[in-house]
Structure 1
Amino acid sequence: MTVMSLAPSPARREVLTRRIRLLVATTITYNVIEAVVAITAGSIASSTALIGFGLDSVIEVSSAAAVAWQFSARDHGVREARERRTLRIIAVSFFALAAYVSVDAVRALSGTGEAGRSIPGIVIAALSLAIMPFLSAAQRRAGHELGSASAVADSLQTLLCTYLSAVLLVGLLLNATLGWSWADPIAALVIAIIAVKEGRDAWHGTGCCAPAVRPAAPAEVAAAPADGCGCTPDCACCT
């Protein structure tokens, strides 16, 4: 039986690599702006949610920078060698994000401090909610096709930023219009649970890579994962 390769050609790999570099650079640039605006606006309005959102942007930058470091290598073998280390950096970023959001949510629920209305905060949250899903989807598609677990894990962290943007926007709007201070920290605790799950997946390298070669022989098929996607031994995940 003939082996049918599903791996992208060298030319296609180069295109995908350049695309991921561009997407990562865009994500880093936007998150730096987002962090400055959110932390500044949060400090002015005494909003722990906005400051936490800004710090999340800093974590997003560290994650994207880790992927940029991986894909800065021209040699494919070097990029693969950096994959595991990059995934660990992304996982730690998720855990740090979950820890901060949890602490911030508990503080908010305990009634520590009262945030004022922040129009700049509402604007940056709305912009992030509109922009981040597209950046995440584009990087996730390229990462899947390339078979890069770290690129997909980073795209999931960008998607998590979308959820946080929604939580922040709802919290800021409810605080500004109705004076409800409890909605944001409750939703933030849910986001923290999601962050822990994504961090665990990134740490183990699960749920993110595409198969390089479809199994050809019956023995190989029997040894393949249950869903038959044919992931290679050094790629511990199938989607």
Structure 2
Amino acid sequence: MSEDAAVPVVAADGCADGCCSAKGVAPDRRAALTRRVRWLVGATIAYNVVEAAVALTAGTVASSTALIGFGLDSVIEVASALAVAWQFSGADPEARERVALKVIAVSFFALAAYVTVESVRSLVAAEPAAPSTVGVVLAAVSLLVMPFLSHAQRRAGRELGSAGAVADSKQTLLCTYLSGVLLVGLLLNGVLGWWWADPVVALAIGAVAVREGRTAWRGEHCC
């Protein structure tokens, strides 16, 4: 973030109350926060690459739209984190803020479009998904890992006054919610044989993705 910037760019995007303002943050503290965001983004990328590979493979094997949607969300989260990494790789992250937010928003919309189409197709065709033990374990692990990464990045992003970093932390938090929803859906399908739970869960993932995409597009995450 540029040290001579008087007002963050995000102030024009709905943060006029100062919730995204980095004024008063000492240069040393700002540098430390920037390094922290970079580290957290790197950790998020590494975890989600593994998560995406496991979820997409397990989802394909089980013909689970919800699990595939979860895997695609992980791919999109990697794209989101890369956008923030790109933002903070420059000398003036504020100048790249708006582009990073747009990339995050479009990623959400792409996920919503896919899971909605696939969910409706599965419901209409009454295609049951096979139980997936791997999917259950993956969802449970994500419930433990993602809240920590999201909280840490959101705190650093708010103190820095970076809507991009905060938006990416919301993407990570969304993964936590989706992990819980996915876990319930997989258990209902595997234990009770409720095949329709899988596409319904996928639709829920799509609905949340649309909401978060609109928020990122408007630059409202910080407030």
- Normalising to structure 1: TM-score of the pair? 0.80
Q: Distance in 2 between matches of 1:52 and 1:180?
A: 18
Residue 195 of structure 1 and its aligned partner are, at CA, apart by 1.8
Residues 83 and 6 (structure 1), Cα distance of their counterparts in 2 relative to 1, 3 Å cut: closer
CA contact (8 A) 1:133 1:162 kept: yes
CA contact (8 A) 1:52 1:104 kept: no
1:106 maps onto 2:120 in alignment = yes
Q: Distance in 1 between matches of 2:134 and 2:213?
A: 30
Q: Distance in 1 between matches of 2:24 and 2:198?
A: 44
Residue 204 of structure 1 and its aligned partner are, at CA, apart by 1.5
Q: Distance in 2 between matches of 1:99 and 1:170?
A: 22
Output aligned runs, 1:180-191, within 5 Å.
180-191=194-205
Aligned to 2:214: 200
* Alignment equivalent of 1:59, drawn from 55, 76, 81: 76
1:132 maps onto 2:146 in alignment = yes
Q: Distance in 2 between matches of 1:163 and 1:111?
A: 27
Aligned to 2:48: 31
Aligned to 2:162: 148
Q: Structure 1, residues 41-63: CA drift from partner, whole Å, max 9, x if none? A: 11222222212211111111000
CA contact (8 A) 1:28 1:61 kept: yes
Output aligned runs, 1:201-220, within 5 Å.
201-208=215-222
How many residues align? The count is 202
* Higher percent of residues as helix: 2
Residue 185 of structure 1 and its aligned partner are, at CA, apart by 2.9
Q: Distance in 1 between matches of 2:201 and 2:101?
A: 26
Q: Distance in 1 between matches of 2:60 and 2:199?
A: 18
Residue 6 of structure 1 and its aligned partner are, at CA, apart by 4.6
Q: Structure 1, residues 173-199: CA drift from partner, whole Å, max 9, x if none? A: 111100012234334333322222221
Q: Distance in 1 between matches of 2:64 and 2:197?
A: 14
Q: Distance in 2 between matches of 1:155 and 1:107?
A: 31
Aligned AA for 1:10?
Answer: P
Q: Distance in 1 between matches of 2:38 and 2:106?
A: 22
5+ unaligned residues in a row in structure 1: which ranges? 209-238
Q: Secondary structure at the match of 2:82?
A: helix
Aligned to 2:65: 48
Percent identical among aligned pairs is 67
CA contact (8 A) 2:55 2:67 kept: yes
Tell me: higher relative CO, structure 1 or 2? Use CA pairs within 8 A at least 6 residues apart.
2
Residue 161 of structure 1 and its aligned partner are, at CA, apart by 1.1
- Normalising to structure 2: TM-score of the pair? 0.85
Aligned to 1:165: 179
Aligned to 1:10: 27
The structure number with the bigger radius of gyration is 1
Q: Distance in 2 between matches of 1:56 and 1:132?
A: 13
- For the aligned residues, what is the CA RMSD? 1.6
